[in-house]
Structure 1
């Protein structure tokens, strides 16, 4: 018989099946988010999260084996919100409008809770995350490709790497703005817009 697959080290111990359990997990994640925003990684411990959530440490460990597992669940919670907005982008009419909307969504996500977004970006690079988190990047890449294939952009000269390049431009500029603590969304949107459409319009 094949050996059972070992659980991912950052997988939750159990998933909430009832309303009360779901509320407990939600309280843990929001407590973790607020600690990261106000105290950073230095004050981020399972004991601190449990106290902030108003539960015992034993109750916390029923769901999460470590603070890293909480971080992963928090990353998934935040990216789910981003993906919901991204997947709602309608690119059927004009691909350019779709890209503009994607830029606005990415900037809004970064600047809505900038301290939290900045730390989660760092932790996403550090932790051994699995395909659940990778799904977010794949979904973004598909949206960019749909924009490129839509009317208005379909005729623009591009290479197979164009969608990935555009996604890297958006992510790089937005993440860098978050690292610097920028809060001016209008200025950031304008800079990302210039970079994205400047790339598409460039002809060597």
Structure 2
């Protein structure tokens, strides 16, 4: 890697892919990143190894990600974007769901109980947050997730009463904050499912 890149820059992605081919390349990089991370751990992961295993030129990877910290930052962003996209497609856009069904699907997605098509959220992400967690990026993700909740509520046209912004934020904090803490504690699958069911019941009761 070039020593001319300032350290503050090397922890951030340099650009986002816009062309279809570039998006395909970056997706291949993300897939390989997760595979190596799962196999070799964070300490054994290098950007060069990701590029070689993904079949991408090292220089091409560095065009986007000047360090593995920058790659991780972009991957976390990718996970959040995929989650929001899944909620929009499965919860917001369908026209044949009642509000209880929308809330059920929302909690399933946010709690990680429905994850076949979502990206790889993992407890190790919590440990790596100090490397990438600038407050402005945390706040941006928070605002985008909160806006997603608002779109879900707007789609629930059969709700007895639309919740105000304070209630929406409280539910978001309860579900998303709970998932993050549960990931940090590495709760097993059964306990996560029980927690998700209780979160759904809480949301349904508060919104009814």
- Against the structure 1 CA distance between its residues 34 and 182, is the aligned structure 2 distance closer, same or farther, given a 3 Å change threshold? same
Give me the whole-angstrom Cα distance separating, in 1, the residues matched to 2:16 and 2:145: 29
Give me the whole-angstrom Cα distance separating, in 1, the residues matched to 2:19 and 2:135: 23
Give me the whole-angstrom Cα distance separating, in 2, the residues matched to 1:56 and 1:101: 40
Residue ranges of structure 2 left out of the alignment (5+ in a row):
1-7
Give me the whole-angstrom Cα distance separating, in 1, the residues matched to 2:66 and 2:31: 17
- Against the structure 1 CA distance between its residues 111 and 40, is the aligned structure 2 distance closer, same or farther, given a 3 Å change threshold? farther
What is the match of residue 87 of structure 1? 88
Deviations 1:96-138 (A, max 9, x none): 3322221011123786589743233554565145877755433
- Against the structure 1 CA distance between its residues 68 and 192, is the aligned structure 2 distance closer, same or farther, given a 3 Å change threshold? same
Give me the whole-angstrom Cα distance separating, in 1, the residues matched to 2:144 and 2:29: 27
Residue ranges of structure 1 left out of the alignment (5+ in a row):
1-7
- Is residue 190 from structure 1 mapped to residue 180 from structure 2 by the alignment? no
Per the TM alignment, residue 146 of structure 1 is displaced from its structure 2 partner at its CA by 4.5
Deviates more, 1:91-100 or 1:158-167: 91-100
Deviations 1:163-201 (A, max 9, x none): 111001111222233331422464343132134345557
Do the aligned partners of 2:111 and 2:179 also contact (CA within 8 Å) in 1?
yes
Do the aligned partners of 2:32 and 2:50 also contact (CA within 8 Å) in 1?
yes
- Against the structure 1 CA distance between its residues 17 and 193, is the aligned structure 2 distance closer, same or farther, given a 3 Å change threshold? closer
- Against the structure 1 CA distance between its residues 127 and 35, is the aligned structure 2 distance closer, same or farther, given a 3 Å change threshold? same
Give me the whole-angstrom Cα distance separating, in 2, the residues matched to 1:200 and 1:101: 15
- Against the structure 1 CA distance between its residues 81 and 147, is the aligned structure 2 distance closer, same or farther, given a 3 Å change threshold? closer
